């Protein structure tokens, strides 16, 4: 083991001792929920699930396999606050339908992948954060002026991504008779939109903004938000100590202006004005 690795291991051990009292206080809840380790004291590498096909949030470079985007930078910042050096962090692509399974089976230790906090998901995983509150909006072809808001999606072909709740918010919760067209991910949705196989894509505004920028003007965001989407950091159920450490890291990220800088870096060209205030945390339980 190298000297750098020993130093990093000692640093994380010290951090684990600092939170030992808190860990003991919550041990009963953590053990009952099935968590056997915490992201605050596990050995390197820390494996983080991110998206691979969302420009601006999480995208994999096909030439070298590296990941980039706002979510990736947030994940890297949080990992640093947990005591992991950049070379002790590994990113792994996760799809919308695979995030809970990846945490349960140990494929990843943490998920930072435009992961909206919902009651159904909270029954399966523990969420830190939110680290950002997005708003659902609509992406259309720039030449299409027929869709100005969510009500205009009636009888339009709307992309439905497996594992995402966005289409349900339009059709089921909004009771709008759009025609769902299934796709495995939002990258496929955008291709279908550009190929005129569907009329619209509706999901979180940051996701749509990234695709709009990447389209070079072919696509645009309607800018008619109609929901709050709280992006959380997915952790294994029961990792209360890890959740509290993640929340502390998110607070620091806003207080030292890192969050504001990252949002500007990735989304300024989209025309959106992202929220820059510290989100209200859900609590770790």
60 and 164 within one domain: no
The tokens for 167 are 């289409």
Does the N-terminal peptide bond of residue 45 adopt cis geometry, omega within 30 degrees of 0? yes
The answer to whether position 279 is within a domain reads: no
Q: How confident is the model at residue 17 (pLDDT cuts 50, 70, 90)?
A: very low
pLDDT in tens, 159-197: 999 888 899 999 988 899 999 999 999 999 999 999 999
Q: How confident is the model at residue 106 (pLDDT cuts 50, 70, 90)?
A: very high
162 and 176 within one domain: yes
258 and 119 within one domain: yes
pLDDT at 271 over 60: yes
Exposure letters 102-132 (e unless 16+ CB within 10 A, then b): bbeeeebbbbbbbbbbeeebeeebbbbbbbb
- Beta strands 67-68; 46-50: pairing state: unpaired
58 and 7 within one domain: yes
What is the DSSP-derived secondary structure letter of residue 260? H
115 and 40 within one domain: yes
Look at residue 283 in the predicted model and tell me its pLDDT: 83
Q: 12: helix, coil or strand?
A: helix
pLDDT at 104 over 80: yes
Task: Give the chain's radius of gyration (CA, Å).
Answer: 19
Number of structural domains the chain divides into: 2
Q: How confident is the model at residue 277 (pLDDT cuts 50, 70, 90)?
A: confident
d(CA 115, CA 232): 6
The predicted model scores a pTM of: 0.78
The answer to whether position 77 is within a domain reads: yes
Look at residue 36 in the predicted model and tell me its pLDDT: 56
Query: 55 near 185, Cβ under 8 Å?
Result: no
d(CA 229, CA 24): 33
143 and 128 within one domain: no
* Residue-number span of the structural domain to which 217 is assigned: 136-221
pLDDT in tens, 212-256: 999 999 999 999 999 888 999 999 999 999 999 999 999 999 999
Q: 103: helix, coil or strand?
A: helix
**Residue 183 β-bridge partners:** 161
Name, in order, each residue with C-beta under 8 angstroms of 145's C-beta and a sequence gap of 6 or more: none
């Amino acid at each position: 083991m190298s000297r750098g690795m020993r130093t990093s291991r000692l640093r994380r051990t010290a951090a684990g001792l600092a939170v030992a009292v808190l860990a003991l206080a919550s041990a009963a809840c953590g053990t009952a929920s099935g968590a056997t380790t915490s992201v605050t004291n596990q050995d390197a590498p820390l494996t983080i699930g991110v998206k691979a096909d969302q420009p601006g949030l999480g995208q994999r470079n096909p030439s070298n396999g590296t990941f980039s985007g706002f979510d990736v930078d947030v994940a890297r910042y949080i990992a640093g606050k947990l005591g992991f050096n950049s070379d002790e962090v590994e990113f792994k692509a996760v799809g919308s339908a695979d995030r809970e399974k990846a945490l349960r089976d140990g494929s990843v230790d943490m998920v930072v992948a435009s992961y909206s906090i919902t009651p159904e998901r909270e029954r399966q995983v523990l969420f830190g954060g939110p680290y950002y509150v997005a708003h659902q909006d609509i992406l259309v072809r720039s030449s299409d002026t027929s869709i100005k808001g969510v009500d205009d999606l009636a009888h339009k072909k709307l992309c439905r991504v497996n594992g995402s709740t966005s289409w349900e918010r339009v059709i089921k919760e909004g009771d709008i008779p759009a025609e769902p067209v299934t796709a495995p991910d939002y990258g496929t949705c955008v291709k279908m939109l550009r190929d005129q196989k569907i009329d619209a894509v509706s999901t979180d505004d940051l996701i749509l903004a990234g695709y709009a920028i990447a389209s070079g003007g072919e696509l645009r965001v309607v800018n008619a938000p109609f929901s709050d989407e709280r992006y959380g950091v997915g952790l294994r159920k029961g990792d209360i100590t890890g959740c509290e450490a993640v929340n502390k890291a998110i607070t620091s990220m806003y207080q030292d202006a890192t969050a504001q800088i990252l949002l500007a870096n990735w989304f300024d060209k989209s025309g959106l004005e992202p929220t820059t205030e510290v989100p209200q945390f859900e609590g770790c339980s």
